Amino acid sequence: MPLSSEDFEDAARSAAGIELELHLPHGFIIDLMRETDWGFVIKLNAVFESLLNMSITCLLRAVHENGLKEVIVRLDMADFRRGKLAIAARLNLIGPEDRRFLEALAELRNSLAHTVENLNFDFIAWVALMDDRRRNEWAKRFTSSVFNIGQPVTFADNPKDFVFCGAVNVMEKIECSLPPAFIQDIRREATIDWKDLLPPDQSSEEADSDGV
């Protein structure tokens, strides 16, 4: 059973705040389902990279002015000992199932990203080549720790929908693991129009020179 319209509405509500925090266009995350399967995997992994960068640096601002942003953004996503997922797990941003989901996504992304031959990647065909044991293993890896949307969707029949549901659930888990005050600050910063803070007679050229 594919995603229902109600599931898409729930996903859109969950994603809206994250899109604001990451300065993404409204609807960007839901529109990933319109991408080719290759584009879906690549862009979804990129969203998680940005979400982890933001979330980790937010928590680290308690001990460092900018949350060590210049260090965090350069870390590998899935390095088992020193990557973003390892740090996010230690900071309790993700649980073991969420980390497993993101490791699976990063592994799939890496297998697709390095050759144009994979541009025609197709989830249905990929799953069809698996035996039952391997299919069940990937389904488990792409199962998050929370189940807010898409519960009737199965990996065997609708793998792209299944991964998308898990992704939205992991995003929500990360966001809910941040202190509410941090989320409020991030969203406040994201909605500021810096032009409104400038004197009326200050030109855009002066604003650019000020680094605003």
- Whether residue 182 is contained in a domain is answered as yes
- Whether residue 193 is contained in a domain is answered as no
Lowest-confidence segment of 65-69, 81-85, 106-110, 159-163 by average pLDDT:
65-69
CB 32 within 8 A of CB 164: yes
Specify the number of domains making up the chain: 1
The residue segments making up the domain with residue 77 are 5-188
pLDDT tens digit string along 2-41? 788 888 888 898 899 899 989 999 999 999 999 999 999 9
pTM: 0.83
- Own/partner pairs for 102-111, CB < 8 Å, 24+ apart? 102/48, 102/77, 102/78, 102/170, 103/78, 103/141, 104/138, 104/141, 104/142, 105/41, 105/44, 105/45, 105/48, 105/142, 105/163, 105/167, 106/45, 106/77, 106/78, 107/78, 108/41, 109/41, 109/42, 109/45
In angstroms, the CA 41 to CA 163 distance is: 9
- Whether residue 209 is contained in a domain is answered as no
